[in-house]
Structure 1
Amino acid sequence: MAEQAGVSTATVSRALNGGGYVSPELHSAVTRAAQELGYTSNAVAAALRSSRSGALGIIVPEIVHSNVSQLVQEVEGFLTPKGVHLILSCSRSDADKEGRAIRSMIARRVDGLIILPAPCSFSRSLMATLGASLPCVELRQASTNWNIEWISGAGEPKAAMLPLVNHLSGQLCPAARVGMR
């Protein structure tokens, strides 16, 4: 790509990753070369470099209920403008499947997790065991209203989830009880 654009590899890197100044004409040359060569960025490499996946996981028991689909839409609508992708998993109200989904989300290095636990779920202890530093929000539904039961994690990652929690509590459950640990 550098050869086609007539620039150094460092200039290509700065132009594509925003890591420093690149003149508008060189930026244009790099962008044009990238398009001509069919270049797409490697999200996995970027995640390794930044220690952030740019993805948030959500595990729900069912997706057919309108209240759950509303929740997923609210979360996705909040995250998309911030450049964060949502990874959805359905546990089908099975605690074992939920546990596998949690492990899968952690293995995929999601930046945070929202879970609507299955009945008789052990998600809290599993989350504590598998990733105490992963910001997690647990939602439980009480009739037609949502309760935000707990947020785990520590420091900056936990703080990063708070705007989403505030958004959800404002949109889905204005009278919600938010408990943090």
Structure 2
Amino acid sequence: MPKYYYYYKNEHKMVIEDDAAEFDYKKHDKKDHCDKHDKKHDKKDHCDKHDKKDHKKDHSKLVEFAYQTFDSITELPLPLTFPLSTQPQVVATATLKDVEKGNVVWLNGLYHVNNNSPEFADVFTRIYRGNISPANLIYQSIVEVDAEGNDDATESVTQFVDVVPADAKNVTYYLTAQKGPFSDDLSVFAYGPITFTAAEIKQ
């Protein structure tokens, strides 16, 4: 006849047989499983909080925003009030105050061009920082505008990211347009809508 020993745990009576082969380890295994699960859960919570904290650190912050817009609604016939030359002509400006070294400035520009000539024209779009001089040119694009009667009206879209230099304080950006050197005799016009934006971002 097998002998039985009685003991109490958590107010529940448990019976264990003398024979070790018949001992029920399930309750002990369950506890081990719970301990492992708790450790895993705690580790996951820690990692989740850590990831959220790191993610927060990676967010960039908008410091300042400047813009200029003209002629947001354009009607037909297309206006001919802004003829282009082969020299840079200011389309729009945007000024940021008290900029910080190392921040970046996200620049976006938009204006439209109409070529009223019998041959295609080259149009240069530029952005200058500080003043209009070759040393301060930070962006340039060139597009060909078709001759009149073809795709002679188009838009010029500009996007650029500028890094704030160490000596900068109040910075003005100039969006300019001009005809190419071989298009001097052509009739090319800029018109709206015109938009130029500058957003200083702290990383």
TM-score tier, shorter chain, comes to under 0.3
* Bigger strand share: 2
Q: Which has the higher helix share?
A: 1
User: What TM-score do the two structures reach when normalised by structure 2?
Assistant: 0.22
TM-score by length of 1: 0.24
